Amino acid sequence: MSSLLKFSVWTTYILINSLLAFLTDLAQWPPKTRNFWSACITTTIGTIFTEFPLYVILFKVWMWFAIAIMDVWFSIPIVKSSLIQVFMLILDIFTMSILLYNFYNNYKTRQIILDQTREFERYGPELPSITSSKFWLCVMPPLHIPLNIKVFRDITYGTQEELRQVGKENEFYLKLDIYIPKYSQKKDPLPVMLFIHGGNWMSMDKLIPFPQPWYLSSNNWIVCSINYRLAPKNPYPACLIDCKRALRWIKKNIVSYGGDPNFVAVSGDSAGGHLAALMALTANDKLYQPGFEQIDTKVQACVGINGIYDVTNKHKAFNPEWFSLEICGKNPSNMSEDSIREMLENASPEVLVERKGNLNEEFVPFLIIHGDNDQLINIKSCREFVKTFRNSAPNSKLVSIELPGAHHGYHFVSSPRTHYSMIAMLRFLNWAYHTSLNNNK
What is the arithmetic mean of pLDDT over 244-257? 97
What is the arithmetic mean of pLDDT over 139-164? 86
Let me know whether 402 and 293 are in one domain: yes
Q: At 123, give phi and psi (nearest 5°).
A: -100, 5
The total number of structural domains that make up the chain: 2
Let me know whether 238 and 299 are in one domain: yes
Domain extent, residue 50, equals 3-107
Q: What is the CB neighbour count within 10 angstroms for residue 172? A: 13
Q: What is the pLDDT of residue 123?
A: 95
Identify which of 83-92, 96-105, 144-153, 425-434 has the greatest average pLDDT: 425-434
Q: Is residue 282 part of a domain?
A: yes
pLDDT at position 242 over 90:
yes
Q: What is the pLDDT of residue 73?
A: 55
Q: Is residue 214 a contact partner of residue 263, using CB atoms and an 8 Å limit?
A: no
In the predicted model, what is the mean pLDDT of the chain? 89
Q: How confident is the model at residue 114 (pLDDT cuts 50, 70, 90)?
A: very high
Let me know whether 62 and 209 are in one domain: no
Q: Is residue 126 part of a domain?
A: yes
Domain-terminating residue out of 107, 130, 147: 107
Domain-terminating residue out of 107, 127, 146: 107
Let me know whether 155 and 20 are in one domain: no
Q: Is residue 440 a contact partner of residue 263, using CB atoms and an 8 Å limit?
A: no
Let me know whether 98 and 152 are in one domain: no
Give the catalytic positions in this structure.
270
What is the arithmetic mean of pLDDT over 198-226? 90
Q: What is the pLDDT of residue 246?
A: 98
Let me know whether 277 and 387 are in one domain: yes
Let me know whether 249 and 398 are in one domain: yes
Q: Is residue 401 a contact partner of residue 424, using CB atoms and an 8 Å limit?
A: yes
Q: How far is CA 436 from CA 260, 284, 356, in A?
A: 12, 19, 22
Instruction: Tell me how far apart the alpha carbons of residues 239 and 369 are, in angstroms, rounded to a whole number.
Output: 22
What is the arithmetic mean of pLDDT over 191-196? 97
Q: Is residue 112 part of a domain?
A: no
Q: Is residue 95 part of a domain?
A: yes
Lowest pLDDT segment from 111-125, 139-153, 262-276: 139-153
Let me know whether 324 and 426 are in one domain: yes
pTM of the model: 0.92
What is the arithmetic mean of pLDDT over 201-217? 87
Let me know whether 330 and 426 are in one domain: yes
Q: What is the pLDDT of residue 80?
A: 55
356 CB contacts (<8 Å, ≥6 apart)? 281, 363, 392, 393
CA torsion, points 125, 382, 302, 175, in degrees to nearest 10? -110
pLDDT at position 265 over 60:
yes
Q: What is the pLDDT of residue 321?
A: 92
Let me know whether 264 and 359 are in one domain: yes
pLDDT at position 134 over 60:
yes
Share of the chain above pLDDT 90, in %: 63
Nearest residue to 116 (alpha-carbon basis) of 433, 435, 431: 431
Q: How confident is the model at residue 227 (pLDDT cuts 50, 70, 90)?
A: very high
Please write down the HEC assignment for all residues of the chain.
CCHHHHHHHHHHHHHHHHHHHHHHHHHHCCCCCCCHHHHHHHHHHHHHHHHCHHHHHHHHHHHHHHHHHHCCHHHCHHHHCHHHHHHHHHHHHHHHHHHHHHHHHHHHHHHHHHHHCHHHHHHCCCCCCCCCHHHHHHHCCCCCCCCCEEEEEEEECCCHHHHHHHCHHHHHHCEEEEEEECCCCCCCCEEEEEEECCCCCCCCCCCCCCHHHHHHHCCCCEEEEECCCCCCCCCCCHHHHHHHHHHHHHHHHHHHHCEEEEEEEEEEECHHHHHHHHHHHCCCCHHHCCCCCCCCCCCCEEEEECCCCCCCCCCCCCCHHHHHHHHCCCCHHHCCHHHHHHHHHHCCHHHHHHHHHHCCCCCCCEEEEEECCCCCCCHHHHHHHHHHHHHHCCCCCEEEEEECCCCCCHHHCCCHHHHHHHHHHHHHHHHHHHHHHHHCC
| Orientation angle between helical segments 53-70 and 36-51, nearest 10 degrees | 70
398-411 tens-digit pLDDT: 999 999 999 998 88
Which CATH number fits the domain that encloses residue 347? 3.40.50.1820
341-360 tens-digit pLDDT: 999 999 999 999 999 988 88
Q: What is the pLDDT of residue 14?
A: 81
Q: How far is CA 6 from CA 16, 61, 70, in A?
A: 15, 19, 9
Q: What is the CB neighbour count within 10 angstroms for residue 175? A: 19
Q: What is the pLDDT of residue 77?
A: 55
44-89 tens-digit pLDDT: 999 999 998 988 999 988 888 877 776 655 555 555 556 766 777 7
Let me know whether 387 and 316 are in one domain: yes
Domain-terminating residue out of 77, 107, 137: 107
What is the arithmetic mean of pLDDT over 84-97? 82
Let me know whether 88 and 223 are in one domain: no
8-52 tens-digit pLDDT: 777 787 888 889 989 998 888 888 777 777 888 889 999 999 998
Identify which of 78-87, 331-340, 352-361, 422-431 has the greatest average pLDDT: 422-431
Q: Is residue 113 part of a domain?
A: no
Q: Is residue 222 part of a domain?
A: yes
